[in-house]
């Protein structure tokens, strides 16, 4: 049935097919733009952006006391994010987990979950505030650096993007499933990413190879190893690739005579659940998929991770480790898919494209901030010019105000009169706007200046206060000149951005955790087989039998012969030779 019929008079027929297409497309675009994909400029999805903005608006700064997480979630849900409280809290929890974020954006107090997959405590028990690194994402948000858009009920405004000072999308990564597309961006080292930005600002033609000398690859919060560089290069070049991650493992000699080997695992791949890995190893031991393990212990504590795997005597640790790589998530791959919103459009982006998009945004933010500060300084300077004119003619101003019938009349009279400005002409020329110049040593006050004069407190008429006004005027003059230079000179603007990147670098720089190995993962079947001497027997009837040499030599009490020689009735051994499990026979 393709049409829905309505017999109500005046109602037209609606095609179900057309309605489904339109409604589903609207839904798909909503998920893509407003939920699942991060913005390339600040690296945040709407829910994360709203959480950070609600926290700064509520005063939950890193320097303030912790607040109940339920309070933050309530602010976000009531003002900006009309979805479930569980979804908001889960997003906030992830931003406070050191094993999920390369640079935590929320500072949590209480149980925020663990790498073993333990769930966080309910939001009524935990407390949170902004992490210090979030300061660099939110700074200058009140200086007209970004556009604000109406919230869901149009009762207030929320930021469309945060004025980020570092490429958060690369630093913290992102993951999300939209409709018909998905994103999976690995985290990177904060210091390396900022240095790459600086290099690209200095030379826009910096090649991918040169950038990869600065950013050799992802840097996961759980450390571990990355095997090979081909997958990293492909991901950086095209935005898609696969990175093989491996646990950091060490084989040590143990036992009284150091005749046994033990595997110590101190780091595991990103987003791998430690408890599930241990459970999987236990299943493999029970199913006899891996037979060389005698004991398995988790000795992790607050000082770090330590998984102990004891190997049976006469079994090689290397072979067991290779079996663990093959059958468990101690070795896994990270499918890189760097898809993000660029100017509101979902776009597959390589490393250079992501960095350039951020740099363009940074230039826009600093330019808008400088214009805002320039206008603010000019407005203040304009008021100061009026105050200084009024102070030099204070007796006349007081007489005029006393003679006026009401404040409106006083304001009109102040604006209508030309005031002598010879004494303060030097300061007025320094700071005032072009359309308010001194003519014949006289100056016309604007409505804004007249209001400021009417609100002037008597204490501002003292000599000390006048000196303060003159000093503030000179400072504003210097500021205005500096802002005009920045806006007119691209080199000055670039230097300012580079200096600000240096400041952020000193605050968030952190040593690399993930080691990148040039060796490529390539396991043969032989790597999974223990080296062991075997006896192979071939019988007259064509039967081939393989027996461990140690079993073949065993002779039980009573001396009844060797088990390896037993054959079927009327069958005899025609060939017998000793070989190794790694020796090819056919």
* Per-position b or e across 171-210, b if 16+ CB within 10 A of its CB: bbbbebebeebebbbbbbbbbbbbbbbebbbeeeebeeee
Q: Are 173 and 102 in contact (CB under 8 A)?
A: yes
Q: Distance between CA 311 and CA 251 in Å, rounded? A: 10
DSSP single-letter state for residue 36? I
Q: Distance between CA 320 and CA 83 in Å, rounded? A: 48
Task: Please state the separation of Cα 544 from the chain's center in Å.
Answer: 60
Structure tokens given for 103: 């640079």
Q: Distance between CA 100 and CA 272 in Å, rounded? A: 10
Residue 579: strand, helix, or coil: strand
Q: Distance between CA 511 and CA 343 in Å, rounded? A: 33
Any idea of the CA torsion for 306, 307, 313, 318, to the nearest 10 degrees? Answer: -90
Choice among 27, 125, 152, 543 that is catalytic:
125
φ, ψ dihedrals at 419, nearest 5°: -110, 140
**How big is the CA angle at 235 (ends 190 and 363), to the nearest 5 degrees?**
50
**Inter-axis angle of helices 69-79 and 85-95, nearest 10:** 120
Structure tokens given for 180: 């018909």
Sign of the Cα torsion 86, 91, 95, 99 reads: positive
Spatial CA neighbour of 318 closest among 557, 53, 474, 531:
531
Q: Distance between CA 196 and CA 211 in Å, rounded? A: 6
241 bridge partner residues: 336
DSSP single-letter state for residue 436? S
Q: Are 161 and 146 in contact (CB under 8 A)?
A: yes
Q: Distance between CA 96 and CA 90 in Å, rounded? A: 10
Q: Distance between CA 152 and CA 391 in Å, rounded? A: 50
Burial of 489 from C-beta contacts in 10 A (0-12 / 13-18 / 19+): exposed
Instruction: Assess whether 125 carries a catalytic annotation.
Output: yes
* Per-position b or e across 32-71, b if 16+ CB within 10 A of its CB: bbebbbbbbbbbbbbbbbbbbbbbbebebbeeeeebebbb
C-alpha distances in angstroms, 405 versus 203, 402, 449, 509? Answer: 66, 8, 19, 64
Q: Is 314 left (phi over 0), alpha (psi -120 to 50) or beta?
A: left
Largest interatomic CA distance in the chain:
138
Known catalytic residues are 125
């Amino acid at each position: 049935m393709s049409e829905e019929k309505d017999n109500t008079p005046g109602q037209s027929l609606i095609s179900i097919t057309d309605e489904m297409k339109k409604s589903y497309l609207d839904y798909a675009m909503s998920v893509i733009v407003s939920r699942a994909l991060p913005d390339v400029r600040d690296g945040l999805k709407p829910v994360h952006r709203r959480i950070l903005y609600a926290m700064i608006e509520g005063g939950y700064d890193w320097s303030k006391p912790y607040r109940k997480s339920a309070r933050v979630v309530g602010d976000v849900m009531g003002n900006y994010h009309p979805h479930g409280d569980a979804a908001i809290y889960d997003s906030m929890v992830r931003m406070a987990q050191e094993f999920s974020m390369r640079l935590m954006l929320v500072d949590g107090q209480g149980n925020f979950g663990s790498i073993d997959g333990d769930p966080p405590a309910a939001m009524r028990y935990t407390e949170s505030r902004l992490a210090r690194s979030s300061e660099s994402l939110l700074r200058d948000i009140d200086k007209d650096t970004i556009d604000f858009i109406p919230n869901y009920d149009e009762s207030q405004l929320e930021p469309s993007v945060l004025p980020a000072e570092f490429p958060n999308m690369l630093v913290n990564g992102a993951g999300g499933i939209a409709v018909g597309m998905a994103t999976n961006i690995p985290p990177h080292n904060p210091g390396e990413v900022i240095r790459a930005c600086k290099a690209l600002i200095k030379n826009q033609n910096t090649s991918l190879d040169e950038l990869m000398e600065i950013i050799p690859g992802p840097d996961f919060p759980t450390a571990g190893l990355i095997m090979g560089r081909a997958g990293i290069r492909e991901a950086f070049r095209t935005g898609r690739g696969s990175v093989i991650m491996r646990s950091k493992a060490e084989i040590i000699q143990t036992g009284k005579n150091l005749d046994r080997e033990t595997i110590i695992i101190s780091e595991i791949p990103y987003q791998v659940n430690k408890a599930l890995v241990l459970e999987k190893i236990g299943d493999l031991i029970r199913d006899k998929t891996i037979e060389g393990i005698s004991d398995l212990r988790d000795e992790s504590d607050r000082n770090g991770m330590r998984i102990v795997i004891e190997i049976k005597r006469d079994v090689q640790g290397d072979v067991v480790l290779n079996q663990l790589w093959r059958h468990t998530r101690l070795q896994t791959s990270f499918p890189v898919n760097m898809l993000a919103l660029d100017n509101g459009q979902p776009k597959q982006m390589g490393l250079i494209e992501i960095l350039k998009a951020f740099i363009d945004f940074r230039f826009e933010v600093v330019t808008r901030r400088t214009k805002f500060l320039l206008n603010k300084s000019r407005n203040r300077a304009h008021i100061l010019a009026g105050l200084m004119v009024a102070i030099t003619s204070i007796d006349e101003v007081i007489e005029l105000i006393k003679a006026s019938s009401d404040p409106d009349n006083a304001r009109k009279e102040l604006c209508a009169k030309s005031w002598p400005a010879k004494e303060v002409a030097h300061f007025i020329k320094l700071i005032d706007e072009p359309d308010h110049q001194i003519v014949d040593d006289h100056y016309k006050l604007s409505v804004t200046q007249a209001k400021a004069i009417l609100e002037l407190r008597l204490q501002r008429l003292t000599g000390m206060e006048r000196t303060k006004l003159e000093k503030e005027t000179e400072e504003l003059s210097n500021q205005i000149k500096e802002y005009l230079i920045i806006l007119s000179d691209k080199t000055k603007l670039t230097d300012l951005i580079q200096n600000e990147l240096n400041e952020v670098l000193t605050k968030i720089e952190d040593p690399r955790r993930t080691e990148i190995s040039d060796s490529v993962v390539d396991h043969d079947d032989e790597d999974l087989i223990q080296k062991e001497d075997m006896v192979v027997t071939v019988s007259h009837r064509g039967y081939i039998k393989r027996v461990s040499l140690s079993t073949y030599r065993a002779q039980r009490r009573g001396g009844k012969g060797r088990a390896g020689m037993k054959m079927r009735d009327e069958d005899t051994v025609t060939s017998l030779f000793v070989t190794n499990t790694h020796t090819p026979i056919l």
